[in-house]
Structures are given as structure tokens and as C-alpha cells.
Amino acid sequence: MAYKIAVLPGDGIGTEIIPEAVKILGVLGEVFNHDFVFAEALVGGAAIDETGVPLPEETLELCKISDAVLLGAVGGPKWDTLPVHLRPEGAALLGLRKGLGLYANLRPAILYPALTDASTLKRDVVEGVDIMVIRELTGGLYFGEKKRENIEGGQRAIDTMVYTTEEIVRIVRLGFETARKRGKRLCSVDKANILETSRLWRETVTELSKEYPDVELTHMYVDNAAMQLVRWPKQFDVMVTENMFGDILSDQASMLTGSIGMLPSASIGGKVAMYEPSHGSAPDIAGQNKANPIATILSAAMMLRYSFNLEKEAKLIEDAVVKVLDKGYRTGDIMESGKTLVGTTEMGALIGGELIQNVG
């Protein structure tokens, strides 16, 4: 069976980490006789430089006719001063999400035992953390009407936060379904003491919970959730929240695990899902073979699991990552004394080598 994968490396470390994930998929393809067909396209600043726009028509078209999308990261200082409609992060990422109908972002934050000491939190607080953060992706402040007005003494800027019952139901249902397959606990995060959108959110979640009596539901204000994530993260199983709260909390959850360089993500909802590391293009380390490719390699594992239903192959990648970490290999972001520092390509090769050994 052929699986068509659109590959969008993007900018900065995107062009270094994506090849490592593609190589891993190549190894699995050969071993298991899966025909992974890769087609690369431009996105982000790289696309602006070549075509003048951050999300060329051909790129979106390629994604739409593929079975899944593997994205690196977009953006960087070179394009930071462009007008909003040309900025890689806004136009390319939001354009892909909208164009592919991706309304849910799944970010697992799992602490690998070998990295317990890489976390900035105490061992007994983070040991065993395994949280799935589900973020709404196509509504809220990021997509509501924006405007600027000239007023006396300067300007007034307005962003609008909008949610409909339908948008809330589809993401929260995914939260309940995901919790049902895991630890059966769902924490819905909002700011219902202040925001009208949050009050609608909470009413809708409460109503929907009647269909899921087997899932224990809690509601939490976002400020408390931020605090609880560092106080006692093990209380969480699945968290579901709106777009901006999810953006912030999922980055915060990522640091429980030691580095954002470890965290994969899946954006789902439409026919074609998109997989990408949770981090950005890291211009500070780009082009130096320093980036941790594990988040991207684990994103490829999520692709095998969620888009292609290849659970065994996904697990093999995850196990290979654990083995390499257990053997003490580390990229700079997760480096500790007594461990072996490796670069991006070495880390990719080590995981690929482990994979081959495990299959053999």
C-alpha cells in the first residue's frame, strides 16, 4: 500500500530535523515493505523567498491530495517585519490549519524516565507525567476579527474572541473520546469567571458530559491550570481547552518533560492530518547541527498511528527513542553531565540504527 506524505521542512531547524524523520520512515518502509511516497514543498519564509507568499497554492494543493503532512517549523527574524498577511507563522500555519480543516491539536507530554533529571522540576513532581493536551485550533482570538483604529494619542487594537456551540462540541467530544481510551479523566480549562466564550464553553462541556458518564470531568480556570501544571502535573490525564489557552498551556506542559525538542504533535480534524514538532524554527541554533530531532521523529510515529493505523511501526519508533536515551545519548537541549552529546544527524542515525536492530 502506498502512503503519500507531503513534506514541508520550512525554515530554521526545520530543514535539519525533517530529513531525520524522513530517514526513519524510509527505514521502516523498507523493513515492512510500506511504500512511503514523499513529496516536498515550500512553506514559511523559504516560500516567501521563492514565491513571495508563505503558503503557495501548490503547497496547499499538495497537502490536500496527500495522505498526511509532515511539517518542520516556520518563521525567523528575516521575515519578522513583514506585514501580518505575509508573516510565516500567521499566514502559513493558520492557512494550513484552515485549508485542511484541522480543528484539534494533540500534544502528548510524556516524561521519559531517562530524562527525569533534565526537567527543571523535582523528580517526585514530574516522574511518570503523561498528559495529553488537546487544543482547539481554528477558533477563538486567533481567528476572530482584528482591527486597528486611530484614536487621540495613538491607536486602538482589537482582537475578537468567538466560539460557537458546534466548535466547542467537536473539540470537547474528542477530549472525552481520548480520555475514554486513556485514564478516563478529562480536565476542561476555561476562564468562565470572566469570559462569555468560556461560559458557553463550560455549559457545553457540562451538557456533553452526560454522554460520557464513565469519564470523570473537572473544570479548571486557566490561571489555576497554569499553576497546577507545575505544582502537581500528575493530577492531569487529558486536558481540553480553547485556542490561546491551549497554545500557552501546551508549551508549559512541554517543559515538564525536559525540552520542547522532545514533544511531537498532531493536528487533526479534516481528511488529511498534519504532524509537526511542538517547537518553532529555533533560529538561535539553526544550521549548527544542534537541534533535537526527536520531537519530529515522534511526530512521524504519531502519523503512523493516527493517519495510517500502523500501531506496531509507531511503537517501534517510540521504543527506539527510549533505547537511545537509555544509552545516554543527548542533544544539547537535554544534555546532562555524564551523558554523550550528539548532534542532529547523529541522533537521527542512532535512532535509525536502534530501529533496525529491534526489528531484526
Binding site for ligand NAD (CB under 6 A): 13, 73-76, 89, 93, 260-261, 276, 279-285, 291-292, 295, 333
* Residue 293 Cβ vs ligand NAD, minimum distance, rounded to whole Å: 7
Whether 11 is catalytic = no
Q: Which is nearer to ligand NAD, 73 or 186 (CB)?
A: 73
DSSP summary character for residue 152:
T
Q: Which is nearer to ligand NAD, 78 or 185 (CB)?
A: 78
Residue with cell 546532562: 336
Rounded to whole angstroms, how far apart are CA atoms 118 and 316?
24
Q: Which of 3, 142, 212, 275 is catalytic?
A: 142
3-state secondary structure of 128: coil
Q: Which is nearer to ligand NAD, 242 or 333 (CB)?
A: 333
Whether 247 is catalytic = yes
Q: Where are the alpha helices (DSSP H) in the chain?
A: 14-32, 45-51, 57-64, 95-100, 123-126, 165-181, 196-208, 222-231, 243-256, 294-306, 311-326, 344-359
Whether 80 is catalytic = no
Q: Which of 23, 191, 290, 323 is catalytic?
A: 191
* Residue 331 Cβ vs ligand NAD, minimum distance, rounded to whole Å: 6
Residue with cell 476542561: 188
Q: Which is nearer to ligand NAD, 97 or 202 (CB)?
A: 97
* Residue 243 Cβ vs ligand NAD, minimum distance, rounded to whole Å: 14
Q: Which is nearer to ligand NAD, 73 or 132 (CB)?
A: 73
CA dihedral 62, 64, 68, 74 (to 10 degrees): 60
Q: Which of 247, 290, 323, 333 is catalytic?
A: 247
* Residue 296 Cβ vs ligand NAD, minimum distance, rounded to whole Å: 7
Grid coordinates of 346: 547523529
Grid coordinates of 34: 510500506
* Residue 218 Cβ vs ligand NAD, minimum distance, rounded to whole Å: 29
How far is Cα of residue 148 from the mean position of the Cα atoms in its chain?
31
**Residue type, position 280, single letter:** G
Residues forming beta bridges with residue 136, ordered by sequence position: 104
Q: Are 251 and 219 in contact (CB under 8 A)?
A: no
Which residue has its beta carbon closest to ligand NAD? Answer: 280
Q: Which is nearer to ligand NAD, 349 or 359 (CB)?
A: 349
Burial class (CB in 10 A: 0-12, 13-18, 19+), 151: exposed
* Residue 8 Cβ vs ligand NAD, minimum distance, rounded to whole Å: 10
Query: What crossing angle do the helices spanning 14-32 and 344-359 adopt, rounded to 10°?
Result: 10
* Residue 53 Cβ vs ligand NAD, minimum distance, rounded to whole Å: 16
Q: Which of 223, 284, 326, 327 is catalytic?
A: 223
Whether 221 is catalytic = no
In this structure, the strands spanning 146-151 and 154-159 are antiparallel
Rounded to whole angstroms, how far apart are CA atoms 322 and 318?
6
Q: Which is nearer to ligand NAD, 217 or 320 (CB)?
A: 320
Q: Are 71 and 43 in contact (CB under 8 A)?
A: yes
Whether 251 is catalytic = yes
Rounded to whole angstroms, how far apart are CA atoms 208 and 216?
12
Grid coordinates of 344: 542532529
DSSP conformation letters of 209-237: GGG-TTSEEEEEEHHHHHHHHHH-GGG-S
Catalytic residue numbers, as ranges? 142, 191, 223, 247, 251
